[in-house]
Structure 1
Amino acid sequence: MPLALCCVSHSPLLDLPGPERELLDDIESALDEAARFVREFDPELVVTFSPDHYNGFFYKLMPPFCVGTAASGVGDYGTHAGPLDVPAELALGLAESVLAADVDVAVSMSMEVDHGTVQPLQRLLGSATARPVVPIFVNSVAVPLSPLRRAVALGTAVGAHLAGLGKRVLVLGSGGLSHDPPVPALATATGPVRERILHGGTMTREQRDARQEKVIEAAREFAAGEGPSQPLNPDWDRRFLAALDEGRLDEFDDWSNDWIAETAGNSAHEVRTWAAAFAALASQGPYRTALRYYRPAPALIAGFAVRTAVAEPGLDSDQTRRRP
């Protein structure tokens, strides 16, 4: 059965005051086109590769990858709060298959996911519970990080397993591209912030509201060319997207974590969710990208991109690489 792919950037600022209407309308148009692609494909199952922003995973135990056999949204930034429709046996079988393919992956039977997982589900499917979903956490924030090539290996193993399910599966990657938002870092966090990224705990409404205001203010500063965040890097973003569009996933073998952070910002590591998703699709052979949207969006503190893709059996690898 076929696989299809949709990768999108996410941002809590899509639903918060601040970004100009023209920017939001442009991005919404691209997301609407991606949602039409998803509706036409009509997936029976969605498998997400997504990061976390210290809402479900903390330094008390930080795996590089984790498959959820049950999951709930934490409800940050107005996204869905409560259980997702996760088929437990199918998710466990996926994890076992990935382990058998020599990719180390953890399993969570009570995964908590944030807007990085839930926002794309809501935008593309109408609601976070519209389809059965298997969430796969890809650590993209908490150092030390695995190399980008390991995300490709993860996606390849996942795709090989999905091909045998006999279902229409949508592979969804969420995150990136170049961006450097105010996410706490272990090296500099102190006091309650450090305690949270180490041990977690449920945030109060007041704490979430305070964090939301901090994000809005950081976006205002960044859009005005102020503040400590590293600038966006559209050239890097386009280089990354071109490698995906042309099927050159082996290019990521030499992309070091230090280089990614220095060139595109600390949260640019979220592109490993895209790399994993495209590797899952590539495990079925050559593919064709359809929707290709990209826009540097300082008001969202992100290089914002959307891609859709499908397997194309009649296309050979050389043709994939040559496509403009």
Structure 2
Amino acid sequence: MAVKLICASHSPLMEFASPQDQTQEKNVRDTFKRLAEEVKHYNPTLIIAYGPDHFNGFFYDLMPSFCVGIRASAAGDWNYGPGELNVPEERSKDLIRQVLDEGVDLAYSYRMQADHGVTQPLHFLCDGQLDRYATIPVFINAAAVPLPTVKRTVKLGQAIAAYLKTLDLENERVLILGTGGLSHDPPTPQIGSVPPEVEEFLIAGRNPTVEARNIRQSKVIAVGEKLAAGDKSVAVPLNSEWDLKVLELFKNADFDALIAMTEDDIRQQGGRGGQEIRCWIAALATMHALGEYEMQVHCYEAIDEWIAGFSIISAEFKAKELNL
């Protein structure tokens, strides 16, 4: 069984704003193009896609810490989708059974709506075809407080590695995909501190009208414009120092240090969106449970216009033998 890993930041503003420093955007897009060619050549038989949600598919009426899609479609936010993801149902159910047997409780859905946290990296890495490869989406709550601990997130990643160990050693080519982070602070409303109509949206805001979605997205675009103009009052500023520290922890597989991070720690250093590093952590925990890895940082750019400390990494095993 071959296994590769790619983790990438995401930003819905990639198609709505261009950085003043055009070399930043070129670096990110060139990296995606290069890795997309590698993915095409690798031709994965299965993608495990760890991603967050931004109140497009998951809401407070029933908010799981983790959820696996048995069937899934694109939520259609930020023009990614609509369309069905190519979820292999029986494999997804086998994965769920294995994770439950490993002692990690998780929800599962026959009607998951995957938002740009999953669909944007699939778009860039799969030639715009969200259904090109068999993909099991794994939602990790990184927006609706209280959040799952990093320790529990690591255990999720390890439990999914136990499932991967059951696959055909000769013919499988698995791509582990993590998306989200690094530091960023989008204007995501927080329950308990918003008007009743906004709270109702956070509880049960599925399938908004086109007008409602456009209004919401325009607020995000406005924050990016203000950050780019130097107005740091609208959000927690990007934190390159923290981003690079976290990337180093990932590179060294220092899960003890990662587990020590609390929800408050991450919020203070990385903003509301920094909580999405859980998706990278789960992906790397899966990889590490299969064998020692070597990680490469392909790019890192702090891009205010995209409200993102934006990085793309990949990892492969140090040795040919997996821990099976």
TM > 0.5: yes
TM-score, structure 1 length as denominator?
A: 0.94
The CA distance in 2 between the partners of 1:252 and 1:292, in whole Å, is: 21
Match of 2:17 in 1: 17
Asked whether the equivalents of residues 17 and 306 of structure 2 are also in contact (C-alpha less than 8 Å), the reply is no
CA positional deviation for 1:49: 0.3
CA positional deviation for 1:250: 2.2
1:216-264 residue CA offsets vs partner (Å, 9 max, x unmatched): 1110101122142001111111111111111212221211111110111
Corresponding residue SS for 2:234: coil
Corresponding residue SS for 1:277: helix
| Paired letter, 1:239 | K
C-alpha change, 1:33 and 1:18, in structure 2 (3 Å) is closer
2:245 paired with 1:244: no
1:31-89 residue CA offsets vs partner (Å, 9 max, x unmatched): 11221232232211111000000011000000100001000101111101021111111
Corresponding residue SS for 2:161: helix
The CA distance in 1 between the partners of 2:179 and 2:70, in whole Å, is: 19
| Paired letter, 1:30 | T
Match of 1:103 in 2: 104
CA positional deviation for 1:19: 3.1
Which one of the candidate residues 206, 213, 216 is aligned to 1:208? 213
Match of 2:52 in 1: 51
2:309 paired with 1:307: no
Match of 1:322 in 2: none
Match of 1:174 in 2: 179
Asked whether the equivalents of residues 10 and 117 of structure 2 are also in contact (C-alpha less than 8 Å), the reply is yes
The CA distance in 1 between the partners of 2:163 and 2:318, in whole Å, is: 19
Match of 1:320 in 2: none
Summarize the alignment of residues 121-160 of structure 1 with structure 2, pairs less than 5 Å apart: 121-126=122-127, 127-160=129-162
The CA distance in 2 between the partners of 1:154 and 1:136, in whole Å, is: 10
1:269-292 residue CA offsets vs partner (Å, 9 max, x unmatched): 000000000111111111112343
Match of 1:220 in 2: 225
2:262 paired with 1:256: yes
Corresponding residue SS for 2:7: strand
Which range is displaced more, 298-307 or 159-168? 159-168
Segments of structure 2 that go 5 or more residues without pairing to the other structure are none
TM-score, structure 2 length as denominator?
A: 0.94
| Paired letter, 2:154 | V
Asked whether the equivalents of residues 152 and 279 of structure 1 are also in contact (C-alpha less than 8 Å), the reply is yes
The CA distance in 1 between the partners of 2:69 and 2:138, in whole Å, is: 6
Corresponding residue SS for 1:283: helix
User: What is the number of residues matched between the two proteins?
Assistant: 317
Q: For the aligned residues, what is the CA RMSD?
A: 1.7
Match of 2:77 in 1: 76
Asked whether the equivalents of residues 37 and 308 of structure 1 are also in contact (C-alpha less than 8 Å), the reply is no
Match of 2:275 in 1: 269
Asked whether the equivalents of residues 180 and 276 of structure 2 are also in contact (C-alpha less than 8 Å), the reply is yes
Match of 1:7 in 2: 7
Match of 1:286 in 2: 292
The CA distance in 1 between the partners of 2:221 and 2:48, in whole Å, is: 30
Which range is displaced more, 158-167 or 17-26? 17-26
The CA distance in 2 between the partners of 1:10 and 1:294, in whole Å, is: 12
1:95-148 residue CA offsets vs partner (Å, 9 max, x unmatched): 110111111111111101111110100100111111011000000000001111
| Paired letter, 2:55 | Y
The CA distance in 2 between the partners of 1:19 and 1:187, in whole Å, is: 34
| Paired letter, 1:271 | I
Which range is displaced more, 277-286 or 305-314? 305-314
C-alpha change, 1:18 and 1:208, in structure 2 (3 Å) is farther
The CA distance in 1 between the partners of 2:197 and 2:23, in whole Å, is: 38
1:164-199 residue CA offsets vs partner (Å, 9 max, x unmatched): 212211010010001111011112121322111111
